[in-house]
A and B are shown apart, each in its own frame.
Chain A
Amino acid sequence: MASTDPGVVAAPGQPVPAQHLQRTDAETPLLNGPQRKYSRSDTRAGFAFLSPWIIGFVGLTAFPMLASLYLAFTDYNLFTSPQWVGLDNFVDLFNDPRFIQSAQVTAGYVLLGTPIKLAAALAVAMLLNMKHRGQGAYRSIFYAPSLIGASVSIAIVWKVMFTDDGIVDRIQQVFGIELGGWVGNPTMSLPMLILLGVWGFGAPMVIFLAGLKQIPGELYEAAECDGAGPVRKFFNITLPMLSPVLFFNLLLETIAAFQVFSSAYIISGGTGGPAGSTMFYTLYLYLRGFQDFKMGYASAMAWVLVIVVALITAILFRTSKGWVHYTGDER
């Protein structure tokens, strides 16, 4: 793992996971170095090659972000021009019980779902890392659900499986559990969606497995000579050596968990029910913006979320200095 990367500058407003996402190539000249001249033809070629991305970034990301920041302070219904209302949208937000509920539902999903998913991913990755035959086949099988977990098809399957008298209900009846269907039960509908999220553990598992394979075997041998058992080996070797990968997975899975939409939409029929128990933040934003045409309100919601995600990212990066270990240089 690369340790620090002098070539990367943090994007405005958001820390950049430079250590995880970029590696400075030894052969690439550091462009921010003192007084380096750029050849004119290189500059021209660079901007020409990058022009689709630049147009896309300005037109589809930067400008929309500014526009939504402006809209957050207005009343706008798509048909009449925006009316400046100052902080009204934000005041309304925090007095809106449905908004509060959507924030709670999403927080519950992120705080419960992400750790469970990552724990499952790590456990299975460690199992597969025992290097027995069939490892590759198991890896493929376990990876597959992460490709389809967010699809409408699987959401429908989940809905039918967890409905009253459906297969899950029948199986729990065998064990004497009288919960009924999870779909219509406000306390069980969120756990049902968390299970659906956990089912997609394959993607972080593949990343964990690749990380585990890079831990040198000598470390474990040395620890065994010193009489370390499996628990100590896990906490003193596996976890520290894996911490950069764990950090990467934690960051991306957390951010992804905030953005769950289609499963909640399909399973609740676009209502966030029962009793608002699946009213995810994204779903509420969609309903406010595209069903009630309260685009200013929805933009305020979007910016509250951006700030929350930026704060979480910043906190993760700040605390990561204490628990993420990088091993020297990698080449």
Chain B
Amino acid sequence: MTTLTAPAPSAPVDEAAVARRAAAKNRRRVKSVIFHTVAIIATVVVLYPAAWMVFASMKPNSDIIGNTQLLPDVWTIEHYVSALSGIGGVSFWTFFGNSLLLAALSVVGTVLSSTVAAYAFARISFPGRNVMFAIMIGTLLLPFHVTIIPQYILFNNLGMVNTYIPLLAPKFLAAEAFFIFLMVQFIRGIPRSLDEAARIDGCGHARTFWQIILPLMRPAIVTSSIFTFIWSWNDFLGPLLYLKDPSLYTMPIALRQYVDQTSVSDYGAQMAMAVLALLPVMLFFVVFQRFLINGVATQGLKG
């Protein structure tokens, strides 16, 4: 290592400066070692439950409890075989497909409704806009408890319980203020001169939105889509309230059913099912992590 930097010790250099630089470099290196030590310990602590879940799903049942070992002695895929065989006569892929369908439709609904709402808040002047914006932000702080009972009564009276409509309606009606807020912030960063140029060319709001703003909003749309997908995929209370028919169940509800039905000691199959239920979320995270983290960071900072 040193051979690269050391060939000129005889050259006329300021020795004091070299020494100072070396000391600074040393200090930096010590700090770096401390940083990585602490960060790696934290990583192990944080990742341990997830790693334990994955490895437990590949251990024989007798090794999951009463064992501190992380890695399996004997590797097995039997738990995945029984998880994939379905629950109560309904195939695993039905649940998986249901979750996928709901998540995909949720993304479509959220993107459609939130982008237009954000455009209105960010770019159109009309009476009552600021009051409505404030109300919208206020809904961020509203506990959901206060609406679930009347919403249930409403959907029950409309005969929509046991359909996906109660789970999708809020998405198509821009109920998630977080995404509107994220998109408003984003649109405010787009130069107004673009809108004005479009206006001069005779574009109304519909065309300005569709041809100018929407294409430029891609990062905000991607962030919102991923969050919507993950939140919809993980949602437990909504499907618990509204879905009664097992053939409509989503993964989290099926998973709960599975835990209730399988014998208490069949931990392996429960772990396998848990891993399968998280797989799409983790995949999305690995692919889109930068969008997610940037979205979260702007949420707290912009303004």
Interface residues of B in 149-187 (CB under 8 A from A): 149-154, 156, 169-170, 172-175, 180-181, 185
In the complex, the answer to whether B234 meets A148 with C-beta atoms within 8 Å is: yes
How long is the Cα–Cα vector from A18 to B35 in the complex, in angstroms? 37
A160, closest chain B residue (CB):
B267
Q: Interface residues of A, CB < 8 Å — how many?
A: 120
How long is the Cα–Cα vector from A150 to B149 in the complex, in angstroms? 22
In the complex, the answer to whether B236 meets A160 with C-beta atoms within 8 Å is: no
In the complex, the answer to whether B277 meets A53 with C-beta atoms within 8 Å is: no
In the complex, the answer to whether A210 meets B206 with C-beta atoms within 8 Å is: no
A61 to chain B, nearest CB (A): 6
In the complex, the answer to whether B67 meets A167 with C-beta atoms within 8 Å is: yes
* Binding stretch for chain B, among A83-91, A92-100, A132-140, A221-229: A132-140
How long is the Cα–Cα vector from A158 to B230 in the complex, in angstroms? 20
In the complex, the answer to whether A31 meets B129 with C-beta atoms within 8 Å is: yes
B65 to chain A, nearest CB (A): 5
Interface residues of A in 284-303 (CB under 8 A from B): 285-286, 289-290, 295, 298-299, 301-303
Residue B7 is within 8 A (CB to CB) of chain A in the complex: no
Interface residues of A in 246-304 (CB under 8 A from B): 248-249, 251-252, 255, 258-259, 261-262, 265-266, 269, 281-282, 285-286, 289-290, 295, 298-299, 301-303
Contacting residue for B303 out of A20, A56, A150, CB 8 A: A20
In the complex, the answer to whether B120 meets A49 with C-beta atoms within 8 Å is: yes
Hey, what's the 0/1 contact readout for A120-132 against B, CB within 8 Å counting as 1? 0000100110101
How long is the Cα–Cα vector from A52 to B171 in the complex, in angstroms? 10
In the complex, the answer to whether A151 meets B36 with C-beta atoms within 8 Å is: no
In the complex, the answer to whether B130 meets A148 with C-beta atoms within 8 Å is: no
Contacting residue for B289 out of A63, A140, A299, CB 8 A: A140
| With A23-B303, A210-B300 as contacts: A9 and B131 at CB distance below 8 Å | yes
When distances are taken between beta carbons in the complex, the residues of chain A under 8 Å from B175 are 56-57, 60-61
When distances are taken between beta carbons in the complex, the residues of chain B under 8 Å from A22 are 133, 137, 303
When distances are taken between beta carbons in the complex, the residues of chain B under 8 Å from A2 are 303
Contacting residue for A151 out of B112, B150, B205, B277, CB 8 A: B277
In the complex, the answer to whether B303 meets A167 with C-beta atoms within 8 Å is: no
Residue A231 is within 8 A (CB to CB) of chain B in the complex: no
Residue B60 is within 8 A (CB to CB) of chain A in the complex: no
B35 to chain A, nearest CB (A): 5
When distances are taken between beta carbons in the complex, the residues of chain B under 8 Å from A55 are 173
Hey, what's the 0/1 contact readout for A1-32 against B, CB within 8 Å counting as 1? 11000011111001011111111010111011
Contacting residue for A261 out of B133, B230, B236, B297, CB 8 A: B236
When distances are taken between beta carbons in the complex, the residues of chain B under 8 Å from A156 are 255, 259, 270-271, 274
Residue A43 is within 8 A (CB to CB) of chain B in the complex: yes
In the complex, the answer to whether B124 meets A14 with C-beta atoms within 8 Å is: no
How many Cβ-Cβ contacts under 8 Å join chain A to chain B?
A: 333
Interface residues of B in 175-202 (CB under 8 A from A): 175, 180-181, 185, 188, 192
| With A151-B252, A153-B53, A261-B236 as contacts: A56 and B296 at CB distance below 8 Å | no
When distances are taken between beta carbons in the complex, the residues of chain A under 8 Å from B38 are 127
In the complex, the answer to whether A141 meets B47 with C-beta atoms within 8 Å is: yes
In the complex, the answer to whether B271 meets A60 with C-beta atoms within 8 Å is: no
When distances are taken between beta carbons in the complex, the residues of chain A under 8 Å from B39 are 127-128, 134, 138
In the complex, the answer to whether B65 meets A165 with C-beta atoms within 8 Å is: yes
A29 to chain B, nearest CB (A): 6
Interface residues of B in 53-112 (CB under 8 A from A): 53, 56, 64-68, 112
Residue B143 is within 8 A (CB to CB) of chain A in the complex: yes
How long is the Cα–Cα vector from A245 to B50 in the complex, in angstroms? 29
Residue A188 is within 8 A (CB to CB) of chain B in the complex: no
B184, closest chain A residue (CB):
A22
A310 to chain B, nearest CB (A): 8
| With A130-B31, A141-B46 as contacts: A49 and B300 at CB distance below 8 Å | no
In the complex, the answer to whether A11 meets B137 with C-beta atoms within 8 Å is: yes
In the complex, the answer to whether A245 meets B127 with C-beta atoms within 8 Å is: no
How long is the Cα–Cα vector from A238 to B162 in the complex, in angstroms? 52
How long is the Cα–Cα vector from A302 to B32 in the complex, in angstroms? 50
Residue B216 is within 8 A (CB to CB) of chain A in the complex: no
Residue B117 is within 8 A (CB to CB) of chain A in the complex: yes
B259 to chain A, nearest CB (A): 6
How long is the Cα–Cα vector from A59 to B129 in the complex, in angstroms? 19
In the complex, the answer to whether A53 meets B180 with C-beta atoms within 8 Å is: yes
Residue B13 is within 8 A (CB to CB) of chain A in the complex: no
In the complex, the answer to whether B134 meets A11 with C-beta atoms within 8 Å is: yes
In the complex, the answer to whether B135 meets A57 with C-beta atoms within 8 Å is: yes
Residue A306 is within 8 A (CB to CB) of chain B in the complex: yes
| With A38-B126, A138-B43, A161-B49 as contacts: A251 and B141 at CB distance below 8 Å | yes
Task: Report which A residues bind B (CB closer than 8 A).
Answer: 1-2, 7-11, 14, 16-23, 25, 27-29, 31-32, 36, 38-39, 41-43, 45-47, 49-50, 52-57, 59-61, 63-65, 67-68, 71, 78, 124, 127-128, 130, 132-134, 138-145, 147-148, 150-154, 156-158, 160-161, 163, 165-167, 170-171, 174, 199, 203, 206-207, 209-211, 214, 245, 248-249, 251-252, 255, 258-259, 261-262, 265-266, 269, 281-282, 285-286, 289-290, 295, 298-299, 301-303, 305-306, 309, 313
26 pairs from A and B in contact (CB 8 Å cutoff):
A11-B137, A14-B138, A16-B137, A17-B141, A43-B127, A45-B124, A50-B120, A61-B139, A78-B153, A78-B156, A140-B289, A145-B50, A147-B285, A153-B53, A157-B52, A167-B67, A210-B297, A251-B141, A258-B143, A259-B143, A262-B236, A265-B240, A289-B149, A290-B241, A302-B143, A305-B146
Q: Across chains A and B, which 7 residue pairs bring their CB atoms closest together, nearest first?
A: A56-B173, A46-B126, A23-B303, A207-B300, A11-B138, A64-B150, A49-B120
Given contacts A49-B116, A61-B147, A143-B296, 4 further A-B contacts (CB under 8 A): A11-B137, A157-B274, A207-B296, A249-B300
